Amino acid sequence: MGVPMARRLLEAGCDVAIHSRSKRKELTDLGVAYVATPLELAQQASRILVMLPDLPQLEPMLEGPDSLLAAGQELLIMVGSTSSAVRLRALADGVVKASDGLVEIIDCPVSGGVEGARRGTLSIMVGGRDDQYARAQSALSPCGTVHHLGPLGAGEVTKACNQMIVSATMLALGEATVLAERSGIEPAKLLEVLAGGYAGSTLLDSKKDKLIADSYEPGGIAAYMVKDLGFAADIAEATDTVTVLLPQLQAAYTELVDAGMGDEDLAVVRKFISRRAT
């Protein structure tokens, strides 16, 4: 996700610098500056977008002499990871205290996948104060539509709700494809019909080719859904919400990962359903 988003920012005329495990030649060849440490990144920027799987990958970047905090200057860290709202708030409080208020964190998880990042059509969900949202909106608008959902953590809650719907829809599409094929209906024809009715969706448009081809090169790996649904379950518990579908979704995607399919694209639900024992 980070690479196509960086491309969008660069195309919009932004000055872009990155820190990652590798130099990302596809970006540096376009003029993106690569820096070796988080400290160097913080010295060059007032706003930093973090696109990592979760908070444990961010936390080491906040500690030590080469950290984002070590620059000792004002910085807004925009966390695009799908994470726990509770853990994010705790992390943000710690960062504010450790930096004497110079460094602040907001959440800005995204939906729309790699294709949305390439097209600049992501849905970006921000949780934070009005002034923080304004700074994030001006920085991230080349990547999609930036929504202000409320205070810190509201973006993560919204993303958890999004993932509940995505996981349920994807599982239904996988089951429907297998049912239709075993009934003598070509998957391509089934999905064409579904796309023209109430079952049509952006998700169907994005995943239909993989469902038809039974090919699952990852655009976003299925294993992450277990993590995301866990965050949704935490929110359900915190809000005393007794969900019907959520526990079933958690069980299904845990079974999928246990079956060795977690590193494939989310569309692998078709293969997962087809191989389940009766």
- Rounded Cα gap, residues 33 and 129, in angstroms: 30
pLDDT of 188: 97
- Rounded Cα gap, residues 15 and 8, in angstroms: 11
212 pLDDT exceeds 80?
yes
Q: Which of 48, 56, 261, 263 is nearest to 174 (CA)?
A: 261
**Residues 54-110: pLDDT tens digits?**
999 999 999 999 999 999 999 999 999 999 999 999 999 999 999 999 999 999 999
Give strand pairing partners of 145: 123
- Catalytically active residues are 159
Q: What percent of the chain has pLDDT over 70?
A: 100
**pLDDT mean across residues, the chain:** 95
* Band (21; pLDDT cuts 50, 70, 90): confident
* Band (266; pLDDT cuts 50, 70, 90): very high
pLDDT of 215: 85
Which residues touch 74 (CB under 8 Å, ≥6 apart)? Answer: 46, 102, 103
278 pLDDT exceeds 80?
no
The three-state (H, E, C) secondary structure of the chain, written as one string: CHHHHHHHHHHCCCCCEECCCCCCHHHHCCCCEECCCHHHHHHHCCEEEECCCCHHHHHHHHCCCCCCHHHCCCEEEEECCCCCHHHHHHHHHHHHHHCCCCEEEEECCEECHHHHHHHCCEEEEEECCHHHHHHHHHHHHHHEEEEEEECCCHHHHHHHHHHHHHHHHHHHHHHHHHHHHHCCCCHHHHHHHHHCCCCCCHHHHHHHHHHHHCCCCCCCECCHHHHHHHHHHHHHHHCCCCCCHHHHHHHHHHHHHHCCCCCCEHHHHHHHHHHCCC
Tally of CA atoms within 13 A in the half-sphere of 72 that contains its CB = 1
Choice among 24-28, 48-52, 71-75 with the minimum mean pLDDT? 24-28
Whether 112 and 121 have beta carbons less than 8 Å apart is answered as yes
218 pLDDT exceeds 80?
no
pLDDT of 22: 85
* Band (113; pLDDT cuts 50, 70, 90): confident
pLDDT of 186: 97
**Token couple for 278:** 């009766």
pLDDT of 87: 94
pLDDT of 277: 78
Q: Which residue has the higher pLDDT, 237 or 277?
A: 237
Give strand pairing partners of 76: 47, 104
Q: How far apart are the first and last CA of the chain?
A: 37
The structural domains of the chain, ordered by start, are: 2-151 (3.40.50.720), 157-275 (1.10.1040.10)
220 pLDDT exceeds 80?
no
How large is the average pLDDT for residues 103-121? 94
**Residues 141-152: pLDDT tens digits?**
999 999 999 999
How large is the average pLDDT for residues 217-239? 91
Give strand pairing partners of 126: 148
Whether 123 and 110 have beta carbons less than 8 Å apart is answered as yes
Cα angle value 211/179/230 (rounded, 5°):
65
- Count of residues making up the chain: 278
